Amino acid sequence: MSRLSCAPLRRRCLSLALLAALSACAGLPPGKPTASILDTHVPAGYNGVVLVRASRADAPVVKTWGQAQFETPAAFAADTPFMVGSVSKWITAVTVLRLAEQGKLDLDQPITTWLPELPAASRAVTLRHLLSNTSGIERGLTLALKRDPGLERLMIPAREAALRFGSGPLLFAPGTRFDYSSTNWVIVAGIVERVTGEPFTRAVVRLVLEPAGVRQTGFASLDPAGTPRLALAYGSERTARKMPAAPPMAAAAGTVYSSAQDLVKIADLVYSERLLSAASRRELMSVQHAPEEYALGGRVKQVGNATLAWESGVMGGYKSLLAYAPEDGRAVVLLNNTDMAQSEQARIALALLDALAQ
């Protein structure tokens, strides 16, 4: 799951840097991506996969550096899958919007509409609050894992986990503060299971992944060896790192694996007219908590007249970033498995976006 736990000041500073760098390229016509753009802007020592695309009409350019596994060694392929951490939340939000369009969910109804077993205080919490990390519900899953790390292997349905770990008190009035809590997403998954009658992961596959036609995207098992071809995670010193706790009940928060090409395929479908209505796409790109630039399941960067879906994720040594412009399909994807700093990953993405605009 994503470790966006740095101080708010650092996040604000990074956001200002992103805005300043992107403002130079906002509104400029995109250029044709070539491998030379990648060679120029991806620094020496990068280990992973990078994709760039100038527009929806252009073919993506993908390049790899380094090793997916150092012990063998095993080089990357263009379609090597990585754990993508909190990019999972964006995919979860798309799933919820699909169910809302089917009349099964409503973003502004209390979550007790679907999980009436939750405490009375939870009547003040809406599905929108969960999807924007502003619910105020205590971090029940995190607290439980600290008391008993063995819970990471607990195999229970998400709807059961939602009631078990999401019944804590409200720590603040819903909608008034931002708290990046995996418990929000356990409850979301529980609601999805309640209204669909199927496991959360199956609902996501049926409603989003299968329509996107992706082949290297799914939900990882607790054992990395159980996911074929998955890049392994390392520290910056190239030593192997154990995948952090990612219990199956937290699938909505951060257990998706994907490839660079698949992430663009999903974004192409999500921001076209083929999957979601115009109203749902507006919801997905509407910031709910301005200080964090957080919308539903991910961040949105507004630069002049340009709007970017900015989906980032962290899971141990895995670092991922999808920057996507819905209006023209301009895209940059960075997947790294050696614990790259998120600020450095963002800097590279901005340089590539600027190069695409030349």
Please confirm, yes or no, whether 258 is among the known catalytic residues.
no
The reply to whether omega before 211 is within 30° of 0 (cis) is no
Contact 159, 325 (CB under 8 A): no
State the Cα–Cα distance between residues 275 and 291, nearest whole angstrom.
Answer: 29
Catalytic residue chosen out of the listed positions 2, 15, 86, 181: 86
* Residues with active-site annotation: 86
